[in-house]
Amino acid sequence: MTADAKHAPTPYLRLFDVTKRFGDFIALKDISLEIYEGEFVCFLGPSGCGKTTLLRAIAGLDIQTSGTVEQNGQDVSALPPYERDFGIVFQSYALFPNLTVAKNVAYGLENRKIAKRDVRQRVAELLQLVGLPDQGDKYPRQLSGGQQQRIALARAIATSPGLLLLDEPLSALDAKVRVHLRHEVKQLQRRLGITTVMVTHDQEEALTMADRIVVMNQGVIEQIGTPEDIYRKPSTSFVADFIGTMNFVAGTAVGPDRVRCGDNVLACETSDMREGDVVTVAVRPEDIVLREGVSESEENVFSVRIDAMEFLGSYVRADLALEARGDQILRADLSINLVRRMQIAEGDERFVNIPKERIRVYQGTVNRDV
Amino acid sequence: MLAIGAFLVVCVLLPLYSMLSKSFENADGDFIGLANYADYFSTPALFLSAINSLYVSVTASVIVLVTAFVYGYALTRSCMPFKWFFKLVALVPLLTPSLLSGISLVYWFGKQGVAKELLFGELIYGPIGIIIGSAYWVFPHALMIVITALTITDARLYEAATALRTGTLRTFFTITLPGCKYGLISAGFVTFTLIFTDFGVPKVIGGNYNVLATDIYKQVIGQQNFEMGAVVSMILLLPAVLAFTVDRVVQKKQVALLSAQAVPYRPKPKRKRDLCMLVFCSIVAALILLMIGMAQYAALITFWPYNLEFTLANYDFDLANGGGWDSYFNSIRMALYTAAFGTVIIFFGAYLVEKGRRFIAGRSIFHAIAMLPLAVPGMVLGLSYIFFFNNPSNPFNFIYGTMAILVVATITHFYTVSHLTAVTALKQMDAEFESVGASLKAPFYRTFARVTVPVCMPAALDISMYLFLNAMTTVSAVVFIYSSDTTLASVAVLNMDDQGEIAFAAAMAMMIAYTCAGARILHALLTRSIMRTTQAWRTS
Ligand SMILES: Nc1ncnc2c1ncn2[C@@H]1O[C@H](COP(=O)(O)OP(=O)(O)OP(=O)(O)O)[C@@H](O)[C@H]1O
Ligand SMILES: [Mg+2]
């Protein structure tokens, strides 16, 4: 499915200028966002950036201070949660401890006057769906964390809601189970075709699961895009820094598509920057290419000294000192094959190339708090 | 929310306010500023009572604190045998009104007491009696706090100390004592407040030794001087509020000491220490049993000390002047109402405080008011109820003199501890139950009934038990507001003793003790069966 085909003309969920205040504190500021039917969207951002607050506003659990929420063409901004159409799963599972697994899953069904037999059948179906067909008579406490989370998921989708909301559903689980469930949740979502919003602060989770990612920071949206977009073309330096590993080098724009960093001049797309602007150049470690015997006259080729090498299994992370400026270190990921073939060792002097199209340039300087 | 908030305002704040204003008025209701207070402080006899109150409270607190600490230490940190027995015995005083210890002391050390020689000529009627009697009935209160404090220590601290070859004594002073420092301080303040504001013991055994609580009683009941009663109440309220405030601050710190990963301490056997502990606990337990045992004996004796034949005649309360069987049944009714309504009201209040998401200010104000009753002595509360509810222009005036006002006063008097129990139980539940319920389109009351209530059932049972026991035994909160139709067993004990019908008083006090013991057993059985039937999910 291409992105365009998926984006049906009217979005399923539409937020417009949603703002949420707690006293003087602004937790969300003018959030506007469209989510399409069947999409899996992740809210990603550092702790305290407002992801949960936004999710709760969508659910109506904590109604926004101003702005509108439209679901399925209907303005639900002021509706209480029980008049909206969604299922929700929390990090803590929030399974009712005194009800059996089957009763937990049936909880929502029993509120809608469905015949007992049909309820039982639907519960069996759902337990099958989440891969726990024989656990209906147990109490939540008798299940493992991962199993509990699947039950919470079954409970949330039992009534076939139009929208599934997940607030860090996997972060209470240990790493192995998390990776496994990640896959399962995604599969399930595909199969049911249910529009899903998931909150997470784990970028790997977002990158692997989402159709689109909404990166948030301090109550505003920094970027919305596909995982690939977000990774390849972070539109702000915050996103560039937050997602994956990134090298930042301070520089000055010195002409159209030219940036000077220390003694080197880089060719890169400077879009609307003007000569003399202070800029930051960003490049990912895997985009730095080690060259075998090339002259320095080629575009974006520099001589570097290999300062340190860290063996990380299938690749090596190397610290490269740009010779001209000894204090500027670039991180580069080099495949283990390449390292063997070229017999690279610490202290070597080599040439590297940074492809023009892989370089991002941001206005101003970047403060990293790491 | 508003209804329960209003309940607290009407039952706590407004009565206290009316008492405060009363203390600035003369008998005709005119405002006379601080004149009553000036009067008070220039009457040496009245002022002396304050000193007396302080003296007995401090002395008894120190005794109780030391005893409770060693006793609690033996229960938590030693391997002495029969711990279950000692735990059980220590709780016995909770089953009886504080008056009972006074009565028992009269039989032991009174003018015709069996063991009065032990006092070497001193009289039991006075500070000695008050101190011993008070120590008896506040002991379990102090013990429970001390045990909690001793239980939460991290075993790894001791392992570290052993690894560093720290001596036993040094370990005790550098780890054990600091570890339960806040618990001890808290226990000290609770003990002090309980004794300082208690009325039963000094009334029965105090003789001519006046303390603040008996002064209020005399001013109000004896001299009908309500204004002076209000003044003394304010003076009684002051240290109680102070102690309460310190205690709250201290308890916050205690909680902060707890880390989630603490490893519970398991004592290892040590012959000499365990033996010493066993001896000590046996002595304390024996004293407790002697105290209640004497009351039981007194209840069964024909005419002390001349006719020691056993009889049940003392249980024929309808022959007594101080009160009949009616008062006993009134007490049971009152305690049942208090337990039933109190649990519901308190639980709803705690639910709103804990689970509400709006009105943050309103909820924290509510919580603060719910803390207040703990600081208000029963007598002060009772007196303020006269001022507030006996006022004909008060719309709630109609409950004055009925069972309802007794129930309201008792619920209010014991509100705080129950409220905290309920809040703790609610805090242990996942915060998102209501959100999940709403997303599944279940109305909030359905989630409340199907999940919240069942999960909190054990806590609710504990609260109702606590309310029942206290309603059965309390004297101070109700002594001013009962009417001739609503006499109570605990008040009957007081009045019988006042009339010299001390054997009847002992028998009635024992009736209360049997009832409370029965209620406790019932509670234990009920809790057990509920645990088995509806709480199966807890185990495993
Ligand atoms: N009820 C509240 N009252 C006051 N401030 C709040 C409240 N709820 C959230 N906040 C504040 O709003 C901000 C956003 O909170 P939110 O829970 O949405 O963060 P989050 O992005 O989900 O973070 P995390 O990853 O830690 O869950 C935080 O700074 C938080 O302190
Ligand atoms: Mg969150």
Contact between A39 and A210 (Cβ < 8 Å): no
Expressed as residue numbers, the domain containing A277 is 245-363
Q: Which two tokens stand for residue B180?
A: 């339960």
Residue ranges in chain A whose pLDDT is less than 70 = 1-9, 294-297, 323-327, 367-370
* Ligand 1 centroid, distance to A188 Cα (angstroms): 29
Residue B453, phi then psi, degrees to nearest 5: -60, -50
Same-domain check for residues A97 and A184: yes
Nearest residue of chain B to residue A162 (CA atoms): B439
Residue B540 has pLDDT above 50, yes or no: no
Cα–Cα dist B336/B450, whole Å:
25
Cβ-defined contact of B441 to A159 (cutoff 8 Å): yes
Same-domain check for residues A206 and A84: yes
Same-domain check for residues A86 and A226: yes
Same-domain check for residues A66 and A124: yes
Q: Which two tokens stand for residue A271?
A: 């879009």
* Ligand 1, atom 30: closest residue by C-alpha: A48
Cβ-defined contact of A81 to B446 (cutoff 8 Å): no
DSSP element (H, E) containing B111: none
Same-domain check for residues A236 and A268: no
Same-domain check for residues A179 and A259: no
Cα–Cα dist A127/B315, whole Å:
65
Report how far Cα B354 is from the mean position of its chain's Cα atoms.
25
Least confident span in A220-224, B454-458, B471-475, B505-509: B454-458
Q: Which residues contact A274 (CB under 8 A, 6 or more apart)?
A: A253
Cβ-defined contact of A90 to B450 (cutoff 8 Å): no
Q: Is the CA virtual torsion B299, B303, B306, B309 positive or negative?
A: negative
* Ligand 1 centroid, distance to A69 Cα (angstroms): 20
Cα–Cα dist B222/B224, whole Å:
6
Cα–Cα dist B526/B458, whole Å:
10
pLDDT per position as a tens digit, B284-306: 999 999 999 988 988 888 777 77
Cβ-defined contact of A59 to B450 (cutoff 8 Å): no
Nearest residue of chain A to residue B442 (CA atoms): A111
* Ligand 2 centroid, distance to B271 Cα (angstroms): 54
Q: Which of A219, A240, A261 is the last residue of a domain?
A: A240
Q: Which two tokens stand for residue B331?
A: 């007490």
Of B430, B431, B440, the CB nearest to A107: B440
* Ligand 2 centroid, distance to A48 Cα (angstroms): 7
Q: What is the pLDDT of residue A154?
A: 92
Mode of pairing for the β-strands spanning A278-283 and A360-363: antiparallel
Region B129-143: mean pLDDT is: 93
Pinpoint the alpha helices (H) of B167-315. 168-171, 177-179, 181-197, 200-205, 212-217, 226-257, 271-300
Q: What is the pLDDT of residue A297?
A: 67
Task: Say whether residue B245 is in contact with chain A using an 8 A CB cutoff.
Answer: no
Count of pairs with CB atoms under 8 A, one residue in A, one in B:
81
Task: Say whether residue B536 is in contact with chain A using an 8 A CB cutoff.
Answer: yes
Same-domain check for residues A231 and A251: no
Cβ-defined contact of B435 to A81 (cutoff 8 Å): yes
Please give the DSSP secondary-structure letter assigned to residue A96.
-
Residues B384, B388, B392, B393, Cα dihedral to 10°: 160
Same-domain check for residues A206 and A348: no
Cα–Cα dist B330/B336, whole Å:
10
Crossing angle of helices B271-300 and B502-533, rounded to 10°: 120
Contact between B52 and B127 (Cβ < 8 Å): yes
Nearest residue of chain A to residue B432 (CA atoms): A94
Q: Which two tokens stand for residue B437?
A: 């319920």
Burial of B83 (0-12, 13-18, 19+ CB in 10 A): middle
B52 pLDDT band, cuts 50/70/90, is: very high
Cβ-defined contact of A111 to B446 (cutoff 8 Å): yes
Q: What is the pLDDT of residue A1?
A: 42
Domain extent listing, chain B = 1-34+301-540, 43-299
Cα–Cα dist A265/A86, whole Å:
54
Cα–Cα dist B466/B361, whole Å:
29
Please give the DSSP secondary-structure letter assigned to residue B218.
I
Give the number of C-alpha atoms closer than 13 A to the C-alpha of residue A216, restricted to the C-beta side: 32
pTM of the model: 0.80
Task: Say whether residue A25 is in contact with chain B using an 8 A CB cutoff.
Answer: no
Same-domain check for residues A219 and A309: no
Rounded to whole angstroms, what are the CA distances from B73 to A115, A169, B89, B181?
A: 59, 45, 16, 13
Q: Which chain A residues are Cβ-neighbours of B535 within 8 angstroms?
A: 98
Contact between A94 and B432 (Cβ < 8 Å): yes
Cβ-defined contact of A96 to B433 (cutoff 8 Å): yes
Q: What is the pLDDT of residue A363?
A: 86
Task: Say whether residue A65 is in contact with chain B using an 8 A CB cutoff.
Answer: no
Name every protein residue with a CB atom under 6 angstroms from any ligand 1 atom.
A 22, 25, 27, 45, 47-53, 201
Rounded to whole angstroms, what are the CA distances from A311 to A56, A337, B362?
A: 43, 12, 59
Taking Cα atoms as reference points, which of B281, B296, B293 lies closest to residue B88?
A: B281
Distance from the Cα of A62 to chain B's closest Cα (Å) equals 8
Same-domain check for residues A26 and A120: yes
Region B423-434: mean pLDDT is: 83
Tell me if A369 is assigned to some domain.
no
Q: Which ligand is nearest to the Cα of residue A201, counting in written order?
A: 1
Report the SS3 class of residue A94: coil
User: If you search the block for the tokens 């039992």, which residue do you land on?
Assistant: A158
Task: Say whether residue B358 is in contact with chain A using an 8 A CB cutoff.
Answer: no
- CA diameter of chain A: 79
Whether the domain at B1-34+301-540 and the domain at B43-299 fall into the same CATH topology: yes
Report the SS3 class of residue A260: strand
- CA diameter of chain B: 76
Q: Which chain B residues are Cβ-neighbours of A112 within 8 angstroms?
A: 441
Tell me if A278 is assigned to some domain.
yes
Preferred mutation among B360, B440, B457 to probe A, highest tally of A CBs within 10 A: B440
Domain B1-34+301-540 architecture: Orthogonal Bundle (1.10)
Contact between A135 and A147 (Cβ < 8 Å): yes
DSSP string computed for B445-459:
HHHIIIIIHHHHHHH
| Helix/strand number for chain A, H first, E second | 10, 20
pLDDT winner (highest mean) among A323-327, B23-27, B512-516:
B512-516
Buried b (16+ CB within 10 A) or exposed e, A253-267: bbeeeebebeebebe
Q: Which two tokens stand for residue A235?
A: 């539109």
Q: What is the pLDDT of residue B515?
A: 94
Same-domain check for residues A255 and A333: yes
Of A92, A93, A97, the CB nearest to B455: A97
Region B322-332: mean pLDDT is: 88
pLDDT per position as a tens digit, B340-358: 999 999 998 888 888 776 7
Residue A195, phi then psi, degrees to nearest 5: -65, 130
Cβ-defined contact of A159 to B535 (cutoff 8 Å): no
Nearest residue of chain A to residue B433 (CA atoms): A94
Q: Which of A240, A272, A298 is the last residue of a domain?
A: A240
Residue B1 has pLDDT above 70, yes or no: no
Task: Say whether residue A227 is in contact with chain B using an 8 A CB cutoff.
Answer: no
Same-domain check for residues A36 and A130: yes
Domain holding A131: CATH number? Answer: 3.40.50.300
Mode of pairing for the β-strands spanning B301-303 and A360-363: unpaired
User: If you search the block for the tokens 């210890």, which residue do you land on?
Assistant: B101
Tell me if A178 is assigned to some domain.
yes
Pick the CATH number of B43-299 from 3.30.160.250, 1.10.10.10, 1.10.3720.10, 1.10.30.50: 1.10.3720.10
Instruction: Tell me the one-letter amino acid at A360.
Output: R
Q: Which of A214, A240, A266 is the last residue of a domain?
A: A240
Better pLDDT: B307 or B413: B413
Cα–Cα dist B141/A201, whole Å:
48
* Ligand 1 centroid, distance to A48 Cα (angstroms): 5
Crossing angle of helices B271-300 and B44-77, rounded to 10°: 130
Cα–Cα dist A263/A38, whole Å:
51
Task: Say whether residue B427 is in contact with chain A using an 8 A CB cutoff.
Answer: no
Nearest residue of chain B to residue A163 (CA atoms): B439
Using H for helix, E for strand and C for coil, what is the string for A158-221?
CCCCCEEEEECCCCCCCHHHHHHHHHHHHHHHHHHCCEEEEEECCHHHHHHHCCEEEEEECCEE
Give the total number of structural domains in chain A: 2
Region B374-385: mean pLDDT is: 86
Cα–Cα dist B208/B229, whole Å:
19
Tell me if A253 is assigned to some domain.
yes
Residue B56 has pLDDT above 50, yes or no: yes
Residue B486 has pLDDT above 60, yes or no: yes
Contact between A158 and A110 (Cβ < 8 Å): no
DSSP element (H, E) containing A361: strand A360-363
Domain holding A303: CATH number? Answer: 2.40.50.100
Cβ-defined contact of B536 to A142 (cutoff 8 Å): no
Q: Which residues pair with A69 in a beta bridge?
A: A15
B38 pLDDT band, cuts 50/70/90, is: confident
Tell me if A9 is assigned to some domain.
yes
Tell me if A87 is assigned to some domain.
yes
Tell me if A370 is assigned to some domain.
no
Residue B120 has pLDDT above 70, yes or no: yes
Q: What is the pLDDT of residue B237?
A: 85
Tell me if A368 is assigned to some domain.
no
Q: Which residues contact B464 (CB under 8 A, 6 or more apart)?
A: B339, B340, B342, B343
